[in-house]
Structure 1
Amino acid sequence: MRPVAVVGPTGTGKSALALDLAERLGGEIVNADAMQLYRGMDIGTAKLPVTERRGIAHHQLDVLDVTQTATVGRYQSAATADVEAILARGAVPVIVGGSMLYVQSLLDDWAFPATDPEVRARWEARLAAVGVAALHQELASVDAEAAASILPTDGRRIVRALEVVELTGRPFAASAPTIGDPRWDTVIIGLDWETARLDERLRCRTDAMFDDGLVDEVGSLRDRGLREGVTASRALGYAQVLEALAAGGGDAAIAEAMERTFVGTRRYVRRQRSWFRRDHRIRWLDGSDAGNVAAALDIVRHVS
Structure 2
Amino acid sequence: MGATGTGKSKLSIDIASRFPTEVVNADKIQVYRGLDVTTNKIPLADRCGVPHHLLGEIDPAEGELQPAGFRALAGASVAGIAARGRIPVVVGGSNSCIYAMMVDRYDGRENPFSGAPAGWRQHRYRSCLIWVDVEASTLAEHLDRRVDEMVGKGMVEELEGYFNEEGPAMERHLGLAKAIGVPEFRKYFQRRTATAYEEALASVRTNTRRLAEEQLRKIKRLKQLGWRMQRMDATAAVAAGIAGSSPSMAAQAWERDVVGPSLSAVEQFLREEN
TM-score, length basis structure 2? 0.81
Q: Residue 190 of structure 1 aligns with which residue?
A: 131
Give, in angstroms, the shift of residue 231 of structure 1: 2.1
Partner of 1:30, secondary structure, is strand
1:87 aligns with 2:82: yes
Partner of 1:217, secondary structure, is helix
Q: Residue 153 of structure 2 aligns with which residue?
A: 212
Bigger shift: 76-85 or 63-72? 63-72
Q: Residue 293 of structure 1 aligns with which residue?
A: 259
Matches within 5 A, 1:123-162: 146=114
Q: Residue 235 of structure 1 aligns with which residue?
A: 179
Give, in angstroms, the shift of residue 251 of structure 1: 2.3
Partner of 1:28, secondary structure, is strand
Matches within 5 A, 1:45-84: 45-67=39-61, 68-84=63-79
CA distance in 2, matches of 1:179, 1:191: 23
Give, in angstroms, the shift of residue 235 of structure 1: 1.5
Give, in angstroms, the shift of residue 181 of structure 1: 4.8
Give, in angstroms, the shift of residue 245 of structure 1: 1.3
1:106 aligns with 2:101: yes
Give, in angstroms, the shift of residue 179 of structure 1: 3.6
CA distance in 2, matches of 1:277, 1:13: 18
8 Å CA contact retained: 2:67, 2:108: no
Give, in angstroms, the shift of residue 95 of structure 1: 0.5
8 Å CA contact retained: 1:22, 1:92: no
Partner of 1:73, secondary structure, is helix
CA distance in 1, matches of 2:193, 2:95: 35
1:28 aligns with 2:47: no
The number of residues matched between the two structures is 242
Paired-residue identity, %: 31
8 Å CA contact retained: 2:31, 2:54: yes
8 Å CA contact retained: 1:66, 1:232: yes
Give, in angstroms, the shift of residue 209 of structure 1: 1.3
Q: Residue 10 of structure 2 aligns with which residue?
A: 16
CA distance in 2, matches of 1:79, 1:56: 17
CA distance in 2, matches of 1:61, 1:194: 28
Stretches of structure 2 that go unaligned for 5 or more consecutive residues are 238-252
Q: Deviations over 1:71-117 (max 9, x none)?
A: 21111101100001101111000100000101111111452346xxx
Partner of 1:36, secondary structure, is coil
CA distance in 1, matches of 2:90, 2:129: 9
Stretches of structure 1 that go unaligned for 5 or more consecutive residues are 1-6, 115-142, 147-170
Aligned residues: CA RMSD: 2.2
8 Å CA contact retained: 1:227, 1:242: no
Matches within 5 A, 1:257-268: 257-268=200-211
CA distance in 1, matches of 2:198, 2:172: 24
Partner of 2:18, secondary structure, is helix
